[in-house]
Amino acid sequence: MAPAVDDASVPSILNEVGFEPPPGYLVNTVVPRTSSLLALLLLSDSRRRVVIIEKIDGRWRLPTMQMESPWDPNHPRPDVTDELNGIAQLSTSRYSTADPAWAHAGDRAPETAWIAVTGVAAWDAEGVMIRTAGDRHAAPVAASGIFVGLVRGRWSERPRMTVQTTGLDFVDIIRPG
């Protein structure tokens, strides 16, 4: 995979695409994933949104559709990582560069997508490894517990997660459902 977008170039990319956070949202995390892809985690008082910005045909572009999920900044962070309760407020969103008109035309979903995984890790978590059959991303855990990971996978795939704790344990997270 190509080297990630460097942090210094992020402001010029946001300027190029004319990105402004929606009213009430703040940019919480920037995830430079490749030289042509980055993700932003936006948080408001009750919602979160992951925005994927991708370079297509030499130009940076915003997606035409963005997904949101509930967010509670007052939700308690788990104390200790265990396989069932190590991540709070887990959310997964999928993004494809394919024309989003498929969603309205009754066509099948795209074969592959970028899959964004967000959540709040337990107090003892240092990082979250997110994996699909063909990709993996080591997402650091912020001091607040928030993490954002971005992996490429089949549209229907459920990414697997392993949390590395401060005690150097590795805990596979079991997702219900």
> Cβ distance 62 to 51 under 8 Å?
yes
Tell me, yes or no, whether 1 lies in a domain: no
Determine the pLDDT at residue 81.
Answer: 93
Assigned domain for 148 exists: yes
pLDDT digits (tens, 9 = 90+) for 31-81: 888 888 888 999 999 999 999 888 888 899 887 667 789 999 999 999 999
Report yes or no on 2 lying in a domain. no
Q: Is the residue at 150 inside a domain?
A: yes
Lowest mean pLDDT of 13-22, 66-75, 106-115, 124-133, name the range.
106-115
Query: How do residues 79-98 score in pLDDT, each as one tens digit?
Result: 999 888 889 999 998 887 65
Does residue 140 fall inside a structural domain? yes
Q: What residues have CB less than 8 Å from 130, skipping those under 6 apart?
A: 117, 136, 137, 139, 149, 150, 151, 159, 160, 161
The answer as to whether 36 is a domain residue is yes
State the average pLDDT for the chain. Answer: 87
For the entire predicted model, the pTM comes to: 0.85
Owning domain of residue 105: 7-173
Let me know if residue 25 belongs to a domain.
Answer: yes
The number of distinct structural domains making up the chain is: 1
Residue 49 lies in a domain: yes
- Confidence (pLDDT) at 9: 86
